[in-house]
């Protein structure tokens, strides 16, 4: 079921657009609200009137429509729904998405959204098989775009092969899966990620080599199991995943404030590489080199966010997970750290330069719990995240 969910449906220009009308009906039957967007080419195949009548809402068509823009700006429109669905997704729309173009309402919404995007491609088999479309599809998959279809079949053009749009019910089921009716549905999980930046003056800061890749993968894996994820992230290299509530911060103190301000969570995962110190009395003006000699920097310890949350008397998440980036005696240090901080689980990893783990695509972790240590094999950070998310779902029951 999709009760209470809101779908922004972009209808592209293809003969399969007629199936989009049935898709609207199926989505509404399941309790979803559908806001339709019709491309110029889409309007050649279905009328705005039939789309609007079935959706029970106005159809958005024009990027520069003053009335529509005054009611709901295109940025807001791209973010007000739970998910963006493109059906049919033409070769042209896929090309625009892959290239980051924004020359009409549909492509602008797709570029501006922070929600998950699912496309149902539909095109002639030769167009689907064309190297350009193959490249675009690969690019879109790497960008995290979800696909429903295309399937093999007879096409309106008389040819047979892949390129046929998935049936409305298949698209509905892909939407239901993506909107995460999973074991963590109804659970709130907090994830911290990325490095922190601790300012020295307005242009300089102290940072670390964290890319945010592992925290981002964990947030996405928890989302995929249905959790509502609050993602508190320092200035990471890797973009935040779609479909989570992003709270960007810069310093450790801001990260603590964001964590304290978040709604009560069932589980909290502290994957951020938080700086241990900040510069006391960071200068408000750029520090000049020269006459006054070398600058003297004073340091103060940052709040330990993981320890603060783990040791809360009230409002402690029932599962608190920390990370321990170590360069020697990994398990020994991690075991001591788990006890010291008071968290339930600690994922320890060796971040010595030779491992390529910090900033890299893979991770090798040891899961330290009250029951002992599990050594996980070296694997892709997404695989570590999926395994951790499954374990969290199991622990929360
Ligand atoms: O003490 P250490 O930095 O090694 O601990 C790592 C763990 O503690 C990570 O989970 C990190 O996110 C968390 N941490 C924190 N606040 C700090 C320092 C670390 O939440 N100030």
pLDDT at site 220: 94
Annotated catalytic sites, by residue?
A: 157
Nearest CA to ligand 1 atom 13: 306
Q: How far apart are CA 347 and CA 375, in angstroms?
A: 10
Mean pLDDT of the chain: 93
pLDDT at site 181: 72
Q: Tell me which fold the domain 6-178 belongs to.
A: Rossmann fold (3.40.50)
Residue 171 zone, left/alpha/beta (φ > 0; ψ -120 to 50; rest): alpha
- Percent over 70 (pLDDT), the chain: 100
pLDDT at site 243: 86
- Residue 194 sits at φ, ψ, to 5 deg, of 80, 180
Does residue 151 carry a pLDDT above 70?
A: yes
Please list the residue range(s) of the chain that carry CATH number 3.40.50.1950.
6-178
pLDDT band at 360 (very low <50, low <70, confident <90, very high): confident
Q: Mean per-residue pLDDT for 111-116?
A: 94
Please write the tens of the pLDDT for every residue from 186-231.
999 999 999 999 999 999 999 998 999 999 999 999 998 989 999 9
Does residue 356 carry a pLDDT above 90?
A: no
Would the pTM of this model clear 0.75, i.e. be above it? yes
Options 3.30.70.100, 2.60.40.60, 3.40.50.10300, 3.70.10.10; CATH of 188-281+291-396: 3.40.50.10300
State whether the beta carbon of 306 lies less than 6 angstroms from ligand 1.
yes
Does residue 162 carry a pLDDT above 90?
A: no
Task: Give residues with Cβ within 8 angstroms of 85, minimum separation 6.
Answer: 7, 8, 9, 10, 23, 117, 118, 119, 120, 171, 175
Q: Mean per-residue pLDDT for 308-323?
A: 96
Q: Which residue has the tokens 């990471």?
A: 236
Nearest CA to ligand 1 atom 21: 304
Q: Of 311 and 75, which is predicted with more confidence?
A: 311
Q: Of 181 and 144, which is predicted with more confidence?
A: 144
Torsion 13-110-97-176 (CA) sign: negative
The pick from 251, 304, 331 for probing ligand 1's pocket by mutation, whose C-beta has the most ligand atoms within 8 angstroms, reads 304
State whether the beta carbon of 305 lies less than 6 angstroms from ligand 1.
yes
Nearest CA to ligand 1 atom 4: 324
Count Cα atoms within 13 angstroms, Cβ side, for 31: 6
Q: Mean per-residue pLDDT for 377-390?
A: 94
Peptide bond into 229 cis (omega under 30): no
State whether the beta carbon of 198 lies less than 6 angstroms from ligand 1.
no
The alpha carbon of 273 and the centre of ligand 1 are apart by a number of angstroms equal to: 6
Q: How far apart are CA 307 and CA 338, in angstroms?
A: 9
Does residue 301 carry a pLDDT above 80?
A: yes
Does residue 180 carry a pLDDT above 80?
A: no
Instruction: Label the pairing between strands 83-89 and 6-11.
Output: parallel
Q: Mean per-residue pLDDT for 84-90?
A: 98
pLDDT band at 154 (very low <50, low <70, confident <90, very high): confident
Nearest CA to ligand 1 atom 9: 323
- Percent over 90 (pLDDT), the chain: 79
Please list the residue range(s) of the chain that carry CATH number 3.40.50.10300.
188-281+291-396
Please write the tens of the pLDDT for every residue from 7-59.
999 999 999 999 999 999 999 999 999 999 999 999 999 999 999 999 999 99
The pick from 231, 268, 274 for probing ligand 1's pocket by mutation, whose C-beta has the most ligand atoms within 8 angstroms, reads 274
Instruction: Ligand 1, residue 305: give the atom nearest the CA.
Output: 20
Does residue 170 carry a pLDDT above 90?
A: yes
């Amino acid at each position: 079921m999709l009760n209470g969910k809101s779908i922004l449906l972009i209808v592209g220009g293809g003969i399969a657009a007629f199936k989009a009308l049935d898709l609207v009906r199926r989505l509404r039957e399941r309790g979803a609200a559908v806001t339709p967007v019709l491309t110029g080419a889409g309007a050649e195949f279905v009328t705005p009137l039939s789309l609007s009548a079935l959706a029970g809402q106005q159809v958005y068509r024009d990027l520069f429509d003053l009335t529509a823009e005054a009611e709901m700006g295109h940025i807001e429109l791209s973010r007000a729904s739970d998910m963006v669905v493109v059906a049919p997704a033409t070769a042209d729309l896929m090309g625009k998405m892959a290239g980051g173009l924004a020359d009409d309402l549909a492509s602008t919404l797709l570029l501006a959204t922070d929600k998950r995007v699912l496309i149902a491609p539909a095109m002639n088999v030769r167009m689907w098989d064309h190297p350009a479309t193959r490249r675009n599809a690969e690019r879109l998959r790497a960008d995290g775009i979800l696909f429903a279809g295309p399937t093999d079949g007879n096409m309106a053009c008389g040819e047979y092969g892949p390129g046929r749009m998935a049936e409305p019910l298949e698209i509905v089921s892909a939407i239901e899966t993506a909107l995460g009716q999973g074991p963590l549905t109804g659970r709130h999980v907090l994830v911290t990620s990325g490095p922190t930046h601790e300012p020295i003056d307005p242009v300089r800061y102290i940072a670390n080599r964290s890319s945010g890749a592992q925290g981002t993968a964990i947030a996405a894996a928890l989302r995929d199991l249905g959790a509502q994820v609050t993602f508190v992230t320092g200035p990471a290299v890797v973009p935040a995943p779609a479909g989570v509530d992003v709270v960007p911060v810069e310093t450790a103190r801001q990260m603590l404030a964001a964590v304290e301000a978040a709604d009560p969570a069932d589980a909290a995962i502290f994957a951020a590489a938080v700086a241990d110190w900040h510069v006391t009395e960071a200068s408000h003006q750029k520090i000049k080199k020269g006459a006054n000699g070398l600058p003297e920097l004073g340091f103060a310890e940052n709040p330990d966010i993981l320890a603060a949350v783990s040791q809360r008397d009230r409002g402690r998440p029932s599962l608190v997970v920390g990370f321990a980036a170590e360069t020697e005696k990994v398990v020994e240090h991690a075991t001591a750290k788990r006890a010291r901080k008071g968290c339930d689980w600690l994922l320890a990893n060796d971040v010595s330069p030779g491992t390529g783990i910090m900033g890299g695509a893979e991770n090798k972790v040891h899961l330290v719990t009250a029951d002992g240590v599990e050594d996980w094999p070296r694997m892709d950070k997404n695989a570590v995240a999926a395994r951790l998310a499954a374990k969290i779902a199991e622990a929360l029951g």
